[in-house]
Amino acid sequence: MPSTDTARLLIACDDRPGIVAAVASFLHARGANIAQSDQYSTDPEGGRFFLRMVFHLRGLSDALPRLERELAAEVAAPFGMEVHLHDAAVRQRVAILVSRYDHCLLDLLWRRRRGELDLDVDLVVSNHPDLAADVAGFGVPYAHVPVTPETRAQAEARQLELLGGGRFDLIVLARYMQVLSGAFLDAVGAPIINIHHSFLPAFAGAGPYERARERGVKLIGATAHYVTEDLDAGPIIEQDVIRVSHRDTATDLARLGADIERTVLHRAVKWHCEDRVLVSGATTVVF
């Protein structure tokens, strides 16, 4: 649907009667027209309730600050809601971190150029210079920040200069082969989505294709998840798999898995930027 004068509303709270009625009444009283509505309850008696609404309101951009204040006071506070309200016409500003593997990075840039992703990629940061020319072809700035065990703290400080301070709404790790510290995660000020080349929780950490080959698995996969301080253990957004056989080498698995990785990462980034993902503890609800 058109993004002009359109907002997306996400709500999470303890379940109880009257939530949908309160939200709908609030929007109706201000002349808004609800275009889409999705909801989910973990348990109608004592569970958690999740809601995603898309609504149209003439003059939304000017009315949004007042709408946020009134929604917080009149609806969110009485129900103990966590609320996110986003103007659909405002694209999310995205930065991508990458190492040497190019398939996920170039897929995201290509989809953005084709209009398949409604977001702005404003920066690519890499610990290697290898992909600078490829990224330049998309007109996106490229920053090379080398990382070694001895310079990790200095490198993260430089990355925070580039990425922190509210410059970005989302950071994507498109096969960035470095572990980010807890201090970096606390300071960067934006959610981070990672693509891991296994069907988590199986084969977390390094070398998943090699370990999958050693175990003789018949399915390999990829997992897009939010990054937390626990390695490859953040809330999962999307996963997919492909069938393999005993004849496939670790190199074959990596080649087959690359297609799954870029597809899964694309979906996760798209859904996040369309405000379809709500985090619930260690899991997610995706509308």
Q: Name the amino acid, one letter, at 66.
A: R
**What are the φ/ψ torsions at residue 206 (nearest 5 degrees)?**
-80, 155
Element (DSSP H or E) covering residue 105:
helix 103-114
* DSSP codes of every residue in 197-208: SS-TTTT-SS-H
Kind of pairing, strands 82-87 and 6-14?
Answer: antiparallel
CA angle 264, 269, 273 (to 5 degrees): 150
Burial group, residue 29, by CB count within 10 angstroms (0-12, 13-18, 19+): exposed
Say if CB 192 and CB 228 are below 8 A apart. Answer: no
For residue 115 the two structure tokens come to: 């209009």
Please tell me which residue in 5, 107, 169, 232 is annotated as part of the active site.
232
Chain position carrying tokens 């709270």:
13
Q: Is 232 noted as a catalytic residue in this protein?
A: yes
Say if CB 245 and CB 256 are below 8 A apart. Answer: no
Looking at the annotation, which residues are catalytic? 232
